[in-house]
Amino acid sequence: MNMVLTIARKDLTIEWRTRTLLARIVPFALLVLVLFAVALDSEPLILRAAAGLVWLAMLFATMIMVQRSFDVEIVDSALDALLGFVSSPSKVFFGKALSLFVQLFALAVVLVCASVVLYGARVEGSGVVLLVTVLVTATLGLALVGTLYGVVVANMNGRDSLLPLLALPVLAPLLIGATRATEAAFGSDTIDVANGWAWAAILVVYAVVFGSAGAVAFAPLAQGES
Amino acid sequence: MARDTAMAGGNLAIRLDGAVVALGGFPALAGVDLQVRNGELVALRGANGTGKSTLLRLCAGLTPLTRGTALVLGHNVVTQRDSVRSLVGLLGHDNGLYDDLTARENVRFVADLVGATNSDVDSVLARLGVDARVAATRAGALSAGQRRRTALASLLVRRAQLWLLDEPHAGLDSAARSELDDILREATSSGATVLYTTHESDARDAHPRRTITLAGGVVAHDVSPGTHATHMGAERAERPR
């Protein structure tokens, strides 16, 4: 566990130094929400789409954050050096995923607050607990899938365009589940809180599946083994 | 023959028997037979593309073995790769540093992963001549020589049993090269084994007790001071493939 925390702390220190999240990704994600609101130009429609727009902005932001997370690893072959001595490469996977989770969770909180301000979304009663659960499970899924696919494309030419091409289809179930559960938390007419919890449970299963896959596949993928 | 007899006791850091590594279908190593005893300081020479770096990566458990057997510090690099990794220190052409962390933070990161202390970090930085100003500078702003020293400090803090260094003298000035040679000799004196690659022109690097030359992915010459060269695979190396 110490190794996982050490690796996560290293990534968060780099993020703190470079301010990528604060200076580039938060403004980008907020801009996406604003542009969607302008484009839809209908209050009932915006309110209905609020949950989906938040998670769509999260998906776009995840792509940028994953690329940044692996850019720092490949510039001077740091990931290669790291995997050369850690006793368990899966801890590198979980360390990087943990760092990504922390950043994505912070971003998700900002975007949900923004959706309340911009779109007039409301969270009340049992919806609050559901919303917090969805934010945790969905961002965990995003972090795990992002880290897994980040290492897949890390050593490829054109990785910037390959990452979304490969990862977005895999993230489609997460987008659906997170959107439906968040709609329930927002008190939508189309889905109640009980159904929202069912979607949250699916998000947990999704995170467990990709967490297990990443633990097994990370080292061979990082080292380009067949 | 004398070396073979001496090594029969199993006091080996590296034992490769017919090791073949194919990279993209090309045999980067084409059947290497090699034995290195614990505590040896061995220089690995050869022209570009003869398999020096591949041999180091194989011994570090980072490159899959296609055929043959490879034992490192008594562990099979195929089936016990995780054990090999924790005992071996590899420094490749790149330094493996994070540009946005300071030199000290880079070394501290490695130290935290292997359970070394803050005083260990200070000690290796001082040993490598990384002063406080350089230690507090982001790695991305360091010169090539300072980056190399920082990378060596990261390697030193790990206290690996087998050091695998790919052209460690590259980018160092003469004073730093001399310090590095002292460190390598100290390492072997304290029981570690060092295998490093070097260009053929750098004949004086580290004053190795043994020099191995690779050609065509096999060991062509194996020379220890005061002995005649052992031509182990020159014939095979010259054979067109």
Nearest Cα of chain A lies from the Cα of B65 at a distance, in angstroms, of: 11
What pLDDT score does B206 carry? 55
* CATH numeric code, B2-96+159-238: 3.40.50.300
- Spell out which residues of chain A touch residue B85, defining contact as CB-CB under 8 Å: 83-87
Which residues in B lie closer than 8 A to residue A225 (C-beta atoms)?
Answer: 64
Q: Which domain holds residue A216?
A: 2-222
Domain count, chain A: 1
Q: How many beta-carbon pairs under 8 angstroms link A with B?
A: 82
**Cβ-defined contact of B90 to A84 (cutoff 8 Å):** yes
* pLDDT tens profile A140-179: 999 999 999 999 998 788 888 899 999 999 999 999 999 9
Q: Which residue of chain B is at minimal alpha-carbon distance from A92?
A: B113
Instruction: Inspect the interface and report whether the beta carbons of B96 and A78 lie closer than 8 Å.
Output: yes
pLDDT per position as a tens digit, B154-193 = 988 988 899 999 988 877 778 878 888 888 888 888 889 9
| Rounded average pLDDT over B20-48 | 90
Q: Considering chain B, what is the average pLDDT of its residues? A: 83
User: Over the stretch B187-223, which tens digit does the pLDDT of each residue have?
Assistant: 888 889 999 998 755 555 556 678 999 988 889 888 8
Helix count and strand count (H, E) for chain B: 9, 11
Token pair of A198 as six digits = 């069912």
Whether A85 sits inside 8 A of B85 (CB atoms) is yes
For chain A, say whether B17 makes contact (Cβ under 8 Å): no
* The residue type at A158: G
Kindly list the residues from chain B whose CB atom is less than 8 angstroms away from the CB atom of residue A84. Answer: 60-62, 85, 88-90, 96
Judge whether B222 and B232 are in contact, CB under 8 Å. Answer: yes
User: Measured between CA atoms, how close is A95 to chain B, in angstroms?
Assistant: 12
- Identify the pLDDT of residue B231: 55
**Residue B27 neighbours by CB distance under 10 Å:** 18
Cβ <8 Å between B112 and A72 = no
**Cβ neighbours of residue A29 under 8 Å, at least 6 residues apart?**
A57, A58, A60, A61, A107, A110, A111
- Residue A126 burial (10 A CB sphere; 0-12, 13-18, 19+): middle
So what's the pLDDT on residue B238? 41
Mean pLDDT in residue range B108-136: 92
pLDDT digits (tens, 9 = 90+) for B64-92: 899 999 999 999 998 888 888 888 999 98
B162 reaches A (C-beta below 8 A): no
* Nearest by Cα to B106 from B77, B80, B135, B76: B135
| Chain B, nearest residue to A222 by Cα | B62
Q: What percent of chain B has pLDDT over 90?
A: 45
Query: Does residue B136 belong to the interface with chain A, where contact is any CB pair within 8 Å?
Result: no
Name, in order, each residue with C-beta under 8 angstroms of B104's C-beta and a sequence gap of 6 or more: B121, B125, B130, B135, B136
Is pLDDT at A50 greater than 70 in this prediction?
yes
Q: How confident is the model at residue A180 (pLDDT cuts 50, 70, 90)?
A: very high
> Structural domain boundaries of chain B?
2-96+159-238
- Residue A14 has its nearest CB partner, among B61, B98, B112, at B98
Please tell me the predicted confidence (pLDDT) of residue B191: 86
Which pLDDT score is estimated for B225? 65
How is residue A28 written in tokens?
């980008």
Q: Is the pLDDT of residue B240 over 50?
A: no
pLDDT in tens, B7-18: 443 589 999 999
The stretch A2-7 carries a mean pLDDT of 94
List, for residues A101-145, the tens digit of each pLDDT value.
999 999 999 999 999 998 888 888 888 999 999 999 999 999 999
**B2 pLDDT band (50/70/90 cuts)?**
very low
- B89 vs A: CB within 8 A: yes
B22 touches chain A (CB under 8 A): no
Assess B109–A contact: CB distance below 8 Å, yes or no: yes
Average confidence (pLDDT) over A194-222: 92
Taking CA–CA distances from B83, the nearest residue in chain A reads A87
Q: Determine the pLDDT at residue A8.
A: 97
> So what's the pLDDT on residue B200?
54
This complex has an ipTM of 0.88
CA distance B228 to B210: 11
**What is the Cα–Cα distance from A67 to A65, expressed in whole angstroms?**
5
Do A85 and B112 count as a contact with CB atoms less than 8 A apart? no
pLDDT attached to residue B133: 94
Give yes or no for B62 touching A (CB within 8 A).
yes
Q: Which pLDDT score is estimated for B235?
A: 44
Of B77, B130, B79, B81, give the one whose Cα is nearest residue B107.
B130
Q: Does B88 touch chain A (CB under 8 A)?
A: yes
State residue B227's pLDDT score.
59
Q: Locate the chain A residue with the closest alpha carbon to B60.
A: A84
